[in-house]
Chains A and B, each alone.
Chain A
Amino acid sequence: MAKKEEKVLGMDREKFRMFMGKYGIGVILLIMMVFISIMEPAFRSGSNMVNVATQVSINAMIAYGMCLAITTEGIDLSVGAQLALVSCILGQLISNKGWGIIPAIVVAILVSTAWGTINGFLISKFNMFPFVVTLSTQLIIRGLAQVVSGGQAIPITDTTFKQIYSAKLGPIPFPILVLILATVLMYLVLHWTKFGRYVFAVGDNMQAAIASGVSIIKTKTATYAISGFLAGIAGVIFTAKTASAQSNIGVGYETDAVAACVLGGTSFAGGVTTVPGVLMGIFIIGFIYNGMNLIGIDSYYQSMTKGAVIIGAVLLDMVMNKKNG
């Protein structure tokens, strides 16, 4: 019985699979954009695109940190709480203590980076599960945020601070510049540095990485420190956007970040991710929110759609990249 490979879209099935494995996420993104454009032409406008890119910049920072953590076979659930802590520190220092913007931002980001480092150290030194560690530190961090803010929202009226979200270089808002910079840096870090190689090696096969002389403690600690640092930047942008420091913000932000990573082909088994993929994942999430708002669909359907799209994308990915044992 001859088993001829059937053709899909004029390609060999094998070729089609390799193509979708590589570019599948881009194809999904395009289909989505076309679909939303047809439903709502306003979606296509340049100003809306800039709008989406500005909005996703916050999730993007978190997602980049998250993709590092997932690639080392971990996860960072503390990012949402980090956002809140950074926000409260900024509010307290700028509005109540009268600090300058720059020192306040530096301190806030240092704190979030320190928490990331603590996460990484606990995970690597004591070989604890990342899920458990970050689930717990998340509680501590959010508690701290409440302590710092005294449980109340602190408005930040400083106009220069608000500029962080609204200032533009030509037509491009500042958050987009941050997004571009972070994307380029992440790409370099992952694919052009020793550290990036270590992240992949540790995530794919920790034993082999150790036997090759890679330090697990250094690699994982740095990974979570970077995640904390990026969450700090996200916190700054977020606080500038809302112009108010609150301890209850950022709830559920880790979900969107994980979603972007998974959509972008980051494997929970570790060792596999790409920066362009995650970036596209970030935009898919952004378009789901934006597109459905434009079309006028209720927010609970947005959440449902997000869930469905993620499952669909992961299923597709599994079918396309069916591991040849």
Chain B
Amino acid sequence: MAEEMKKKEEYVLECHGISKAFGGTQALKDVELLVRAGEVHALLGENGAGKSTLMKCIIGLHQQDEGTIQFEGKPYSVKGPVEALNAGISMIHQELNPEPHLSIAETIFLKREDTRGIFLNKKAQNERAEEILRKFDFPHSAKTLMKELTLAQMQMVEIIKAVSCNARLIIMDEPTSSLDSEETEHLFRTIRDLKSKGVAIIYISHRMEEIFEICDHVSVFRDGTYVGERSMEGVTRDELISMMVGRKVENVFPKTDCEIGDVVFKVEGLSGKGFEDISFEVRKGEILGISGLVGSGRSETMRGIFGMDPITAGQMYLEGKEIKIKKPSQAIKQGICMVNEDRKNFGLALHRSIRENMALPTLPLKQKAPLLNKKQEEKDCLDMGKMLTLKAASIEHEAFSLSGGNQQKVVLAKWLLANPKVLILDEPTRGVDVGAKSEIHSLMCEFAAKGMAVIMISSELPEVMGMSDRILIYHEGKINGEVKREEILSGDENQESILRRAFGGK
């Protein structure tokens, strides 16, 4: 009896036999999850394996069809996130959903406002928020509106919000997907601190290095089923991947060398908000990597080139001819396409079908007749879906019903279908699982080999280093150095030397 009591105490959270279906899709089938007090528990699985769904069941956004959840030894059932928070569980969501017109303070204290009688105590609330933000070295005041923040900063606010409400279990669903190494390090310090206070954390990520760095145990899901649990000590990366995928993923960065041709695209002295005097060129068949900290002007430059933000100075040349781009439609017409890092705001129409999303940018190009040729469109979408290992019941389903990683694949598909001359990718594999990542990387090489010029921004150093022919390193809006593939292969340049440049060193 006492023995049993003790065993129960050990786990803060116990999920047994959880099943959940959405219409015809069985997202979870009889899965288990046992989380010990004060540990960081990783949850690993391919895109669409059911990770986020289980987490949403735990905080009451979904109700499981079957199965039981116990929290701190007691049966637990909540109707929504507010109740879950009161019970001691908070969550950082994979898909950020900020209210653009709220301030940071209002976001942090949403639904648990500081009140005096019926009035909001704004002053006290702002002060408390400032204090919390200071602890995280956050660069904005608590009164800043959410819409003024970058994606990474929104993610930080979400993290700050979740850790600031004294939860005893914090769920982190891909918290680092848009953070750079410095911010990630900051998050890890916070996690260690929370851990020492006895807070348990469920950590979902597709970045294996992170899981090895921060987690104690790992549970693996595959296709909505539970594969098993391992202690991080003694388990290998390959073992985890084969548990996840059911097969071996051979080559993580399948970079193939292809012939690099003439200059396709060139910019000279480009300036705009957040970047200054940027010059570079990219050639046929080349993959140009762009590294640097979040906010260093990488994304801003690309948004400028693609016509999403104004450019104040400088010229752009496509195949030797000067071009002017004021809005994305002009860029697309010229053959320059861009995958935006923020798939929710700039990538997808979430309530429309996968098919409509994929076909949107190429409608003027491919559909010349008055009525749509849906047969051809369907074929294109299915082929591209297959290439990207998209997991969806049908292409007629709405985009919001896809898991995060699969939504990312739809965004990629939409631009790959356009078959542009210059493809700009801003964090192309954000939230994509290991297997699919390597598929996407091979596709990038394939498209490059066909003569496309690829520009890839990535906060994941191994990705940029593994895939690029050349890497530009940004620091505070300027290019601070360039590294060639040969220099990486020969060992003259490495992770440290690139990071040093990203921080402004030589």
Please list the residues of chain B having a beta carbon within 8 angstroms of any beta carbon in chain A: 21-23, 56, 61-68, 75, 77, 97, 306, 308, 327-329, 331-333, 338, 340, 345-352, 356, 359-361, 363-364, 367, 370-372, 374, 400-401, 414
- In the complex formed, the residue of A with least CB distance to B339 is A211
Tell me the minimal C-beta distance from B365 to chain A in angstroms: 10
- In the complex formed, the residue of B with least CB distance to A272 is B351
Is the CB–CB distance between A194 and B367 below 8 Å?
yes
Beyond A201-B356, A212-B360, is A3–B63 a contact (Cβ under 8 Å)?
Answer: yes
Is the CB–CB distance between B328 and A212 below 8 Å?
yes
Contact partners of A18 in chain B: CB under 8 A = 23
Beyond A211-B328, A214-B360, is A1–B372 a contact (Cβ under 8 Å)?
Answer: no
Interface set, chain A 219-240, CB cutoff 8 A to B: none
Beyond A208-B345, A271-B351, is A3–B371 a contact (Cβ under 8 Å)?
Answer: no
Is the CB–CB distance between A3 and B61 below 8 Å?
no
Is the CB–CB distance between A2 and B370 below 8 Å?
no
Beyond A15-B23, A325-B61, is A2–B352 a contact (Cβ under 8 Å)?
Answer: no
In the complex, 23 of the A-B residue pairs with CB atoms within 8 angstroms, ordered by the A residue number, are: A1-B75, A2-B66, A4-B66, A18-B23, A193-B372, A197-B356, A197-B372, A200-B349, A204-B350, A204-B351, A207-B345, A207-B346, A208-B345, A208-B348, A208-B349, A211-B328, A212-B361, A213-B333, A214-B329, A215-B329, A271-B351, A324-B22, A325-B97
- In the complex formed, the residue of A with least CB distance to B342 is A207
Contact partners of B61 in chain A: CB under 8 A = 324-325
- In the complex formed, the residue of B with least CB distance to A323 is B400
The DSSP consensus for interface residues of chain B is mixed
Query: Out of A2, A193, A210, which one reaches B327, CB within 8 Å?
Result: A210
Contact flags A187-210 to B (C-beta < 8 A → 1, else 0): 010001110011011001101111
Is the CB–CB distance between B352 and A200 below 8 Å?
yes
Instruction: A114 to B229: give the CA distance in the assembly, Å.
Output: 67
Is the CB–CB distance between A213 and B328 below 8 Å?
yes
Instruction: A325 to B75: give the CA distance in the assembly, Å.
Output: 24
Name 15 extra pairs, CB < 8 A, besides A208-B348, A324-B401.
A3-B63, A14-B22, A14-B23, A193-B370, A204-B352, A207-B345, A207-B346, A208-B347, A208-B349, A210-B308, A212-B332, A213-B329, A213-B332, A324-B22, A324-B62
Q: Which 6 A-B pairs have the closest CB atoms?
A: A204-B349, A213-B329, A213-B332, A212-B361, A211-B346, A205-B349
Is the CB–CB distance between B371 and A188 below 8 Å?
yes
Is the CB–CB distance between B77 and A1 below 8 Å?
yes
Is the CB–CB distance between B356 and A194 below 8 Å?
no
Is the CB–CB distance between A200 and B356 below 8 Å?
yes
Query: Out of A3, A14, A210, which one reaches B64, CB within 8 Å?
Result: A3
Interface set, chain A 1-33, CB cutoff 8 A to B: 1-5, 14-15, 18
Tell me the minimal C-beta distance from A6 to chain B in angstroms: 11
- In the complex formed, the residue of A with least CB distance to B70 is A1
Is the CB–CB distance between A211 and B308 below 8 Å?
yes
Beyond A15-B23, A211-B328, is A4–B345 a contact (Cβ under 8 Å)?
Answer: no
Instruction: A205 to B401: give the CA distance in the assembly, Å.
Output: 16
Instruction: A239 to B184: give the CA distance in the assembly, Å.
Output: 69
Interface-central residue, A18, A208, A214, by most chain B CB under 10 Å: A208
Tell me the minimal C-beta distance from A222 to chain B in angstroms: 14
